């Protein structure tokens, strides 16, 4: 049906109001590259035509977890036919430092090896096979040192990559002592390999005057630029980094892509030729960081109603051998340790343990999912001890209502939304009937047990590093009315580009097809933040909005002058520009007119998130612009004789504010849930006694398959809940929060087997052992 509402009403709506445009805000448009992804026409970095004279690089990795490295003899690699260069730390013209947040994290091991899989050398060859054979031919001499391979040992040695952080409120010791009942717990959660389909890859092409053009599969082109410049010892303006799309990233290409690109750039600088570095899967898994594994120890005080009165907890993260982004991960873990709940008196201490393993990094949720497990474990155990359902205990402790409505560090939580998402998920799952069904099934089956579990999440949106909350965009309108959009966000399959294009389309009142989506480039928009922390659409959407609005204002003036009306009367809608009911021209005609009148149709836009602050010393503030909520119910079946299990059904409700694009957002919720399911139930990183990771490919590292998707998967976006903060069109971020929804499956497994402790990933073997230990 045609939209008959007057265009004036449409335009009157500010950017925080809904617009009704079939291809603008809120339209369920498919991903701009969806068809090309399906047909194979979408070009990923390795699909691009190779520049003439291209060389290929390969990495030589340490086989040892910890040891003294003698200067590496390049001769065996040089002897391999086709090998052109073997690059060692001494070949680095700038600094051998790839630290993303701290300092002094080496790109190539120099004298000391700190984890198995650590890069030792970059071998360059005329073919990839030659480079790989050269890397394999090297014989590093490493005098082994005893490695620290587990969190417990790091704690015992107080080996940290960063001092412990703590959030406290009230007097937890006194509150514990005063509580009617007390309980202690310990459990652990494993790490997770990103397993992006497209592995790490970069192509570096040296130019004149010390220029280096880098194409990188990265979430953070600006950091690639910085690291390449640091390693090469040149100014930022010599390095241009471009990213059209990634074949998945999940945080794994936030800091790790930078050093991969820096290795390629080093090789390009030293050989003077273009160099491509594409890591084979085994090398990728061995050399790049993962989600941080956590060990939890807690004591809680509670009463007979299940109200948790006090909590004293330690969350120890395995950082691996270096800092990388661990500071941010720890921050998010402790700020999310209570989830949607309120605990009046608490101390949560986070430890950043240094071990001789690969340096762990960003992974969708960035410590948030690990943080949320703490309160979920406490709720589960308190419920069992009090003889109450965990759902009742969680509800009893929800923030708001009679309980406190601020996190211990001062961030307000919206108790009404917490209760709403939970009520809706519960209703969607038909909880009471399902509970009865599960009980009836369990009463009659000899060895299968079903279980029900739930999860309620509260996830703060904004980078924990305040300065990262900024974005830029560059918009051009050409004389034919076509539009070119560029911004600092990167596309990794998550649908950011279409969402930002929708923002721009709605500003100009044009169809989204008019907008050319272009590769992210440090040459077009400088000094950007990574596309991470779920902030991509929030930040870049506003920046693009600002750029487009600036151009629209100029265009409105041109039209106003031409028609002799006030600029405020000029309306942009349906690819037309209109005023006063009888004036109209097409958007393209106005663009043409503006260029004839010598009006600029190009603008940059900039945005920085308002209202956020954090006091590092006090560990207090309002670090998040807003909080996203979600809730889930999951049903599982467990074979109690083998530990095998399946998720039979999942009912998810996710708050996306007023969704910019419900099709994209639903996809994000589904994908995040399955990825979370993988983390919690099947993806297991397995190190041998020498500290070598032995799950280096899909045959041994188990990401969920298509059949692990629950046969019933009902996903819904929360309706009628526009963001209360001034977000772009009142939408909310969606990339990370729904990963936490999979915690419902972990809870359902515990329900099915009636156990106190279930470490994650809950593999069949762990489930069986938990049944035995019950």
> Which residues contact another protein (rule: CB under 8 A)?
129, 136, 641-644, 646, 682, 684, 686, 694-695, 699-700, 702, 704-708, 763-765, 768-769
Q: How far is Cα of residue 490 from the mean position of the Cα atoms in its chain?
A: 12
- Least distance (Å) between residue 549 CB and another protein: 50
Distance CA 35, CA 461 (A): 31
Question: Helix (H, G, I), strand (E, B), or coil: what is residue 201?
Answer: strand
What tokens were used for 533? 């922390």
Rounded Cα gap, residues 721 and 653, in angstroms:
12
Q: Which long-range contacts (CB under 8 A, 24 or more apart) does 388-392 make?
A: 388/305, 388/306, 390/453, 390/454, 390/747, 390/751, 391/426, 391/431, 391/454, 392/306
Task: State how far the Cα of 149 lies from the Cα of 32, in Å rounded to an integer.
Answer: 44
Min separation Cβ 686 and another protein, Å: 4
Closest separation in Å from C-beta 130 to another protein: 10
Cβ 72 to another protein shortest distance, Å: 21
Nearer to another protein, 479 or 641 (CB): 641
Tell me the C-alpha distance between 652 and 632, whole Å: 4
Helices (H) and strands (E) counted in the chain, each on its own, are 20, 29
Looking at beta carbons only, is 518 or 695 nearer to another protein? 695
Query: Cis before residue 619, ω within 30 degrees of 0?
Result: no
Q: Which DSSP string corresponds to 418-487?
A: HHHHHHHHHHHTTHHHHHHHHHHHHHH-SSEEEEEEEEEEEEEES-SSGGG-EEEEEEEE-TTS-EEEEE
SS3 content of the chain, % helix, strand, coil (to 5): 35, 25, 40
Based on CB atoms, which residue is closest to another protein, 104 or 642?
642
Place of tokens 């999951």: 634
Nearer to another protein, 443 or 699 (CB): 699
Return d(Cα 313, Cα 343) in angstroms, integer.
12
Q: First vs last Cα of the chain: how many Å apart?
A: 61
Interatomic CA distance for residues 349 and 317, integer angstroms:
11
Based on CB atoms, which residue is closest to another protein, 19 or 56?
A: 56
Q: Which helix (H) or strand (E) covers residue 578, if one does?
A: strand 576-579
User: In a 10 Å sphere around its CB, with 0-12 CB exposed, 13-18 middle and 19+ buried, how is residue 417 labelled?
Assistant: buried
Q: How many angstroms separate the Cα of 276 from the Cα of each of 44, 195, 215?
A: 13, 21, 9
Nearer to another protein, 557 or 708 (CB): 708
Q: In whole angstroms, give the CA distance from residue 300 to residue 165.
A: 20
Q: How far is the CB of 88 from another protein (least distance, A)?
A: 24
- Please list, residue by residue across 521-557, b when 16 or more beta carbons sit within 10 angstroms of its beta carbon and e when fewer do: bbebbbebbbbbbbbbbbbbbbbbbbbbbbbbebbbb
Residue closer to another protein, measured from CB, 34 or 136: 136
Angle of helix 743-753 relative to helix 764-773, nearest 10 degrees, comes to: 40
Closest CA to 614 of 285, 170, 167: 167
**Minimum separation from the CB atom of position 640 to another protein (A):** 10
Query: For residues 441 and 686, which CB has a smaller minimum distance to another protein in the complex?
Result: 686
Provide, rounded to whole angstroms, the least separation between the CB of residue 642 and another protein: 5
CA 58 centroid distance within chain: 27
Closest approach, Cβ 450 to another protein, in A, equals: 17
SS (H, E, C) 360-375: CCCCCCCCHHHHHHHH
* Nearest residue to 8 (alpha-carbon basis) of 685, 627, 569: 569
The one catalytic residue in 153, 684, 736, 765 is: 736
Judged by beta carbon, residue 731 or residue 763, the one nearer another protein is 763
Closest separation between CB of residue 728 and another protein, Å?
A: 39
Nearer to another protein by C-beta: 605 or 704?
Answer: 704
Helix (H, G, I), strand (E, B) or coil at 1: coil
Q: Rounded to an integer, what distance in angstroms lies between the CA atom of residue 45 and that of residue 276?
A: 10
Q: Are strands 308-320 and 294-302 parallel, antiparallel or unpaired?
A: antiparallel
Q: Which is nearer to another protein, 415 or 704 (CB)?
A: 704
Q: To the nearest whole angstrom, how small is the minimum distance from the Cβ of residue 443 to another protein? A: 22
Query: CB of residue 379 vs another protein: minimum separation in angstroms?
Result: 28
3-state SS, residue 592: helix
Half-sphere exposure of 238 (CA within 13 A, CB side): 20
Cβ atoms of 82 and 125 closer than 8 Å: yes
Q: How far is CA 7 from CA 573, 578, 580, 581, in A?
A: 7, 9, 11, 10
- Least separation, in Å, of the C-beta of 678 and another protein? 10
Q: Which is nearer to another protein, 76 or 344 (by Cβ)?
A: 76
Residue 87 beta carbon to another protein: minimum distance, rounded to whole angstroms: 23
Quick check: is 561 catalytic? Answer: no
Do residues 632 and 426 lie in contact, with contact meaning Cβ atoms separated by under 8 Å?
A: no
In terms of CB distance, is 681 or 731 closer to another protein? 681
Active site residues: 736
């Amino acid at each position: 049906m045609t939209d008959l509402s007057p265009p004036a009403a449409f335009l009157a709506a500010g950017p925080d109001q809904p617009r009704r445009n079939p291809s603008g805000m809120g339209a369920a448009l498919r991903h701009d590259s969806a068809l090309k992804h399906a047909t194979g026409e979408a070009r990923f970095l390795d699909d691009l035509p190779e520049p003439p004279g291209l060389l290929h690089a390969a990495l030589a990795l340490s086989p040892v977890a910890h040891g003294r490295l003698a200067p590496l003899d390049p001769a065996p690699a040089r002897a391999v036919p086709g090998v052109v260069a073997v690059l060692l730390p001494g070949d680095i013209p700038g600094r051998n430092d790839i630290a993303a947040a701290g300092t002094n994290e080496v790109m190539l091991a120099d004298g000391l090896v700190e984890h198995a899989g650590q890069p030792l050398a970059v071998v360059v060859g005329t073919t990839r096979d030659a480079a790989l054979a050269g890397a394999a031919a090297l014989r590093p001499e490493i005098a082994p040192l005893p490695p620290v391979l587990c969190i417990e040992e790091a704690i015992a040695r107080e080996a940290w990559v960063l001092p412990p952080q703590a959030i406290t409120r009230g007097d937890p010791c006194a509150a514990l002592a005063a509580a009617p009942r007390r309980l202690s717990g310990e459990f652990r959660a494993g790490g997770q390999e990103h397993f992006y389909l497209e592995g790490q890859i970069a192509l570096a092409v040296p130019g004149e005057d010390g220029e280096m053009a880098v194409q990188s599969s990265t979430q953070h082109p600006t950091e690639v630029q910085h690291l390449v410049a640091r390693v090469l010892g040149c100014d930022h303006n010599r390095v241009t980094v471009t990213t059209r799309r990634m074949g998945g990233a999940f945080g794994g290409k936030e800091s790790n892509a930078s050093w991969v690109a820096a290795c390629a750039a080093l090789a390009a600088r030293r050989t003077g030729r273009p160099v491509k570095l594409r890591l084979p899967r085994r090398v990728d898994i061995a050399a790049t960081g993962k989600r941080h594994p956590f060990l939890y120890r807690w004591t809680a005080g509670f009463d007979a109603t299940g109200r948790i009165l006090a909590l004293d907890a330690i969350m120890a993260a395995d950082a691996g051998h270096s800092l990388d982004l661990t500071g941010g991960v720890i921050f998010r873990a402790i700020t999310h340790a209570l989830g949607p709940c309120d605990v009046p008196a608490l101390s949560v201490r986070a430890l950043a343990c240094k071990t001789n393993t690969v340096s762990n990094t960003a992974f969708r949720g960035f410590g948030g999912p690990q943080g949320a497990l703490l309160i979920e474990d406490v709720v589960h155990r308190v419920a069992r001890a009090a003889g109450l359902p965990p759902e009742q205990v969680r509800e009893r402790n929800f923030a708001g209502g009679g309980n406190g409505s601020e996190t211990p560090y001062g961030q307000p939580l919206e108790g009404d939304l917490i209760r709403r998402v939970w009520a809706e998920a519960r209703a969607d799952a038909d909880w009471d009937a399902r509970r009865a069904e599960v009980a009836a099934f369990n009463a009659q089956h000899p060895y299968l047990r079903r279980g029900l579990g739930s999860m309620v999440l509260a996830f703060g949106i904004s980078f924990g590093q305040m300065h990262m909350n900024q974005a830029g965009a560059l918009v051009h309108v050409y004389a034919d009315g076509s539009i070119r959009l560029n911004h600092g966000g990167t596309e990794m399959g998550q649908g950011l580009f279409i969402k930002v294009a929708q923002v721009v389309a709605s500003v100009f009142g044009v169809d989204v097809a008019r907008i050319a989506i272009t590769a992210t480039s440090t040459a077009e928009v400088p000094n950007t933040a990574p596309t991470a922390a779920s902030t991509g659409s929030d930040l870049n959407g506003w920046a693009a909005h600002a750029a487009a609005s600036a151009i629209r204002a100029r265009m409105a003036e041109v039209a106003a002058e031409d028609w002799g009306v006030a600029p405020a009367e000029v309306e942009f809608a349906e690819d037309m520009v209109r005023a006063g009911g009888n004036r109209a021209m097409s958007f393209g005609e106005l663009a043409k007119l503006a260029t004839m009148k010598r009006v600029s149709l190009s603008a940059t836009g900039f945005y920085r998130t308002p209202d956020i602050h954090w006091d590092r010393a006090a560990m207090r503030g309002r670090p998040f612009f807003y909080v996203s909520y979600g809730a889930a119910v999951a049903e599982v079946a467990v074979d109690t004789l083998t530990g095998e299990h399946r998720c039979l059904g999942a009912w998810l409700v996710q708050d996306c504010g007023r969704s910019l694009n419900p099709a994209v957002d639903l996809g994000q919720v589904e994908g995040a849930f399955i990825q979370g399911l993988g983390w919690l139930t099947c993806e297991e990183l397995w190190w041998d006694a020498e500290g070598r990771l032995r799950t280096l490919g899909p045959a041994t590292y188990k990401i969920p398959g298509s059949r692990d998707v629950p046969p019933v998967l009902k996903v819904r976006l929360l309706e009628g809940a526009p963001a209360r903060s001034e977000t772009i069109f009142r939408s909310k971020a969606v990339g990370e929060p729904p990963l936490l929804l999979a915690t419902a499956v972990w809870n359902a497994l515990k329900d099915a087997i009636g156990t106190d402790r279930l470490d994650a990933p809950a593999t069949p073997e762990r489930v069986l052992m938990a049944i035995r230990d019950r």
